[in-house]
Amino acid sequence: MDIKQVLTEIITKNILVQKKESAIYSEQAVKFKLAIELYRSSQIISILESKIPKKKQYLDIYFCENSRKYGIEVKYKTKLNEILENKFEYTNQSAQNFGKYYYLRDINRLERYVLDNIIDEGYAVLITNDPNYMNYGRDNTLIQKYDIYNGKEINGKYPGIKQKGKEKNDITINGSYKTEWFPMEFKNPDRDTAYFNCCIVKIVNEK
């Protein structure tokens, strides 16, 4: 089973176009929605917030299919949408440098879990209505170091970042992974619809 294709179809159908009455406002709700739709579409029973054996860490979504173990990490980054008289109450998460850093950290974690044989395949999912995640960072800025624009090769060392006075660790990604955004455009919202884009990076040990 092509899990990336399954995830792409689920996200395209259920998350990328949101009406006010069915809008998804939190990352936790996205994880829950993905778990439900994995079962509906493919009869996959998944575990949310699955604890990694012998580690104080968790996978957002974990499941087994045909003896293979899969892990999914989800990031849901939003900005506030004011659409005429209708208000989409998305949290305004404007610090894209943090969002990109944590997405890269998800890729790093999944890569380590694959190499440690905790999972066979990992999928780092980023869903956002903020076009800045798809854009190139300004030259010679910190955010440029975390660029994840379409077709970007993710590989090598990324600097740590300071958040609320605390230094976050550097990130080292040993493999090479290419970002692929869909549907590859940001539409202007109309009066009752919000549009999102998604990037899914697949992590697997090719050896």
Beta strands 121-128 and 68-77, pairing class: parallel
Query: Cα–Cα distance between 3 and 72 in angstroms, integer?
Result: 10
What's the mean pLDDT in 143-156?
93
Domains contained in the chain, number: 1
Name residue 166's beta-bridge partners: 163
- Burial class of residue 150, CB neighbours in 10 A (0-12, 13-18, 19+): middle
C-alpha pair distances (Å), 77 with each of 93, 120, 133, 197? 6, 27, 9, 10
Query: Cα–Cα distance between 177 and 161 in angstroms, integer?
Result: 22
Confidence (pLDDT) at 85: 46
Identify the sign of the CA torsion 84, 17, 23, 89: negative
SS3 170: coil
> Whole-structure pTM over 0.85, yes or no?
yes
Of 87-91, 93-97, 203-207, which range is least confident?
A: 87-91
Confidence (pLDDT) at 93: 58
Compute how many other C-beta atoms are within 10 angstroms of the C-beta atom of residue 19.
Answer: 11
Domain range enclosing 96: 3-204
Confidence (pLDDT) at 84: 39
